[in-house]
Amino acid sequence: KAGVTQTPRYLIKTRGQQVTLSCSPISGHRSVSWYQQTPGQGLQFLFEYFSETQRNKGNFPGRFSGRQFSNSRSEMNVSTLELGDSALYLCASSLNPTAGGGEKLFFGSGTQLSVL
């Protein structure tokens, strides 16, 4: 079974541009969540989607948005990029999410975004 696939692996953008990152979850997984990882802030939760619905959102500005398609693939978009958006963006999928919070997350290798 293929793991979580994130594309592209690396991205270089300039300030003011926008970017779209893609995540394909493990087959059968319906929940996809996104995290931003930086040396200073660690791993921070961006948002979580299940069956095309955003169920939870972290404390990020509206420039960060996402969506999930009917095949569970997800994209996140960052508009009007700032230097501080440079980070590793990680996507995680899970099999059978419940309100219990105990689901195992499977992570992709991430997209390394550099904003110049």
Partner 1 sequence: AQSVTQLDSHVSVSEGTPVLLRCNYSSSYSPSLFWYVQHPNKGLQLLLKYTSAATLVKGINGFEAEFKKSETSFHLTKPSAHMSDAAEYFCVVSSSGTYKYIFGTGTRLKVLA
* Pairwise CA distance, residues 45 & 21, whole Å: 16
Cβ atoms 109, 10 nearer than 8 A? no
3-state secondary structure of 16: coil
> Which range touches partner 1 (CB under 8 A), out of 14-22, 64-72, 75-83, 108-116?
108-116
Judged by CB under 8 A, how many residues of this single chain contact partner 1?
27
* C-alpha angle 65-68-73 in degrees, rounded to nearest 5: 120
CB of 24 vs partner 1, minimal distance in Å:
13
* Pairwise CA distance, residues 21 & 41, whole Å: 20
- Please tell me whether residue 4 binds partner 1 under the rule CB under 8 A: yes
What residues between 84 and 103 interact with partner 1 by CB under 8 A? 90, 92, 97, 99-102
* Pairwise CA distance, residues 16 & 7, whole Å: 21
x-marked contacts with partner 1 along 30-69 as a string, rule CB under 8 A:
-x-x-x------xxxx--x-x----xx-x-----------
By beta-carbon proximity to partner 1, the closer residue of 62 and 100 is 100
Cβ atoms 21, 32 nearer than 8 A? no
Give contact residues for partner 1 (rule: CB under 8 A).
4, 31, 33, 35, 42-45, 48, 50, 55-56, 58, 90, 92, 97, 99-102, 104-110
